[in-house]
Structure 1
Amino acid sequence: MSSDVTSERIRRASRKLFAKRGVNGVSVREVVAEAGARNNGSIHYYFGSKDALVKELVMEGARAIDEYRREALDALENGVAAPDLRAIMAILVDSMVNEADERLDGYARFMAGVRLNQRHLANNPLEGRWSVGTRRCYAHLGRLLPGFSEAALLQRFTISQAHIVAALAERDAIQDLAAQHDATPEIRESAAWWGSRLAIDDVIDTAVALMVTPARPGAVLSRTGLAAAARARTGDAQ
């Protein structure tokens, strides 16, 4: 087995296992076994450490998402002078469910766990090399929501992104349950809905609602406070 093939198998196996059970719930030995690698030192050899592997998966997905968002925005902006809010939110959601890109298989569920339990390994979507598409979307949001202060816009964007990741993580989890031989009819019905375009549209619509609902007085954290929270959440990982 070539080194490139082994490395890719480890990526796929670890993303699958981490998505299902969380990073802390999976041992290095289990990843190696799932990948079909022969040496328990494979992760150290190819990635340096388990944390480095997690970071690699985070950035691999971030790159896939950024590529989608940039291409989708190019197409949208070439056809429409001033895209509307739903079109921008649709790009933010659809970029995470691009089933044609293997790098995103189980990614939302994986990232939901990383953001909760390995914050120092998560990425800030508005910073770093693979954030160009997200920053372009964010610039459109600023244009479309002129009544929001800079801090209010950032806070709502942060909340909407958390909602999108959580909803798509639920989608991944339900579809995984439905694939099991003992899945109930109710689980299969739920998975069928989550696999439909209707479900994705519902995620987009609710994300739009999160962005446009007026902020209550005193509800907005200062931009400095938001930035500090982001640093604590991501450890400035890029």
Structure 2
Amino acid sequence: MPLAPSPKERIILAAEALFAAHGLDGVSLRQISAAAGSGNNTAVQYHFGTKEQLIREIFEFRLPYLHERRNLLAAQHRPNDLRGWVECYVLPVLEQGEQEGSNYLSFVANLHTHGSREVFDQFAPTYLAASNAFQDHFRSFLMDIPEPLRAHRISQAIAFAIHAAADRERAKARGQDVLSFAAHVADLLDGLVGYLTAPVSPAALAACDNAGRDATSWLLVP
């Protein structure tokens, strides 16, 4: 029988659900405390201090399993093409959205759309290194795509996967019909790989040259 969540875990799960539904600015710490079942209105401050720290703790709660699952998939399948590496990276995120009552993907999508970039920039180096290691494999199959377009495509592909998974998570929560999980995964991978490997047009190259080649992309760590 699974253990009941600790008070801190109850706050994390309540905050994740409320942030997913209402965004960061639409939820107060008092509301989170109440949703977590705490009779203490200052429970969030007691355990986490600030809203920003609570947001980081949500990621700290979710990311270890996601990275462990990615590494397990990579060890099992030993991918030797771009699609295989993208699947190992994205599949654990999509699986998370299939869990009963999941709100994590909607939380991440909301944070990406309306949050602060600094939240993502403050991830522990371990999580950034793990994500970068997978993205290095992506880059190795995209050497014909010049920088910064290659980094931009990888960043955009990951963001699209997160938002697509969040859309499915919300649709399932509303009881709407969705594709089977297998079809959803296969179709999403088709789209991501197609986008990543699409030929670079002369117009894109010219625009890139005019803008300079030192642009940076927003790394989204799901």
TM norm structure 1: 0.78
Which ranges of structure 2 fall in alignment gaps of 5 or more residues?
none
Which ranges of structure 1 fall in alignment gaps of 5 or more residues?
179-187
- The residue aligned with 1:182 is none
Check conservation: 1:85, 1:208, Cα contact below 8 A.
Answer: yes
SS of the equivalent of 1:145 reads coil
Check conservation: 2:98, 2:169, Cα contact below 8 A.
Answer: no
2:174 aligned with 1:189: no
TM-superposed deviation, 1:14: 0.8
Q: In the alignment, residue 44 of structure 1 is paired with which amino acid?
A: Q
Check conservation: 1:85, 1:144, Cα contact below 8 A.
Answer: yes
- The residue aligned with 1:91 is 88
Within 5 A, what are the aligned runs for 1:1-238? 5-77=6-78, 83-99=80-96, 105-124=102-121, 128-178=125-175, 188-190=176-178, 193=179, 196-216=181-201, 217-220=205-208, 222=212, 224-226=214-216, 230=218
TM-superposed deviation, 1:151: 2.0
Find the aligned partners of 1:133 and 1:67 in 2 and give their Cα distance: 10
Check conservation: 1:65, 1:96, Cα contact below 8 A.
Answer: yes
Check conservation: 2:19, 2:27, Cα contact below 8 A.
Answer: yes
Q: In the alignment, residue 130 of structure 1 is paired with which amino acid?
A: Y
Change (3 A) 1:35 1:52: same
Find the aligned partners of 1:101 and 1:8 in 2 and give their Cα distance: 20
Greater shift in the superposed pair: 125-134 or 205-214: 125-134
Aligned-residue RMSD, C-alpha: 2.8
Change (3 A) 1:174 1:219: farther
TM-superposed deviation, 1:52: 1.1
Find the aligned partners of 1:101 and 1:42 in 2 and give their Cα distance: 30
Check conservation: 1:112, 1:166, Cα contact below 8 A.
Answer: yes
Change (3 A) 1:15 1:159: same
Cα deviations across residues 20-47 of structure 1 (Å, max 9, x unaligned)? 2212122222211111111011000100
Find the aligned partners of 1:24 and 1:43 in 2 and give their Cα distance: 16
Change (3 A) 1:67 1:121: farther
Check conservation: 1:72, 1:91, Cα contact below 8 A.
Answer: yes
Find the aligned partners of 1:114 and 1:87 in 2 and give their Cα distance: 28
Change (3 A) 1:205 1:84: same
Number of residue equivalences:
211
TM-superposed deviation, 1:157: 0.2
TM-superposed deviation, 1:219: 4.5
TM norm structure 2: 0.83
Change (3 A) 1:149 1:116: same
Change (3 A) 1:84 1:211: same
TM-superposed deviation, 1:124: 5.0
Change (3 A) 1:88 1:118: same
Check conservation: 1:89, 1:204, Cα contact below 8 A.
Answer: yes
